[in-house]
Amino acid sequence: MPSMLRHFAIAVIVSLAAGCAMPGPAYTPSFQNVQKLAEVQSQLNLGQFSVDKPDLDKISIRGNTMVSPTGSFASYLQGAVTSELKLANKLADADAPELSAVIMENDLSVPIAPTGSGKMCVQFIVKKNKSPVFQKQVSGEVTFPSSFIGAVAIPNAIRAYPDLVANLLENLYGDSDFLNATKK
């Protein structure tokens, strides 16, 4: 029995010391979000998507680092918006209101407790004729099962990230100020 405990302790130490960068999962468009986009009256052109601070392009999860599979979380978010706009037939090439975004907060919390959480805050801007008509910070949140065991909690957190982005976009697409700003 002491030998088994020692092997377990060594495995835990090695896994914690091995903190490596892991890519997050690809985003799959949310059917619910595509339906909400039907309420947007005009098509949208996409502007610049960025992060407020460079450290927002990495998410620390118990000594491990999750990175975007697209190179940056700004491009991940832009890809998510693009895919949903395309499916809703709302993506414009030019001469349409322009949507841009700045990621202000991007975090997954993976406690030893039974529930982990994630939060993402993004400053969205809609411009018409190069003038802002909508500028608002929108948040998304997600919860997921966590565990004392990192081999359970870390993958659960990583798998929850697309749901976090989907919740953020659901909150944007359902925002009455956003809907008013995108009227023709």
pLDDT digits (tens, 9 = 90+) for 21-47: 899 999 999 999 999 998 898 999 999
Domain locations along the chain: 21-181
0.85 exceeded by the pTM? yes
* Best CATH choice for the domain 21-181 from the list 3.40.50.10610, 3.40.50.2300, 3.50.50.60, 3.40.50.150: 3.40.50.10610
Flag whether pLDDT at 10 surpasses 60: no
**At how many degrees (to 10) do helices 150-173 and 2-17 cross?**
40
Pairwise CA distance, residues 52 & 122, whole Å = 9
pLDDT, tens digit (0-9, with 9 covering 90-100), for 44-55: 999 999 999 999
| pLDDT at residue 5 greater than cutoff 50 | no
Does residue 13 register a pLDDT over 80?
A: no
Percent of the chain with pLDDT strictly greater than 70: 90
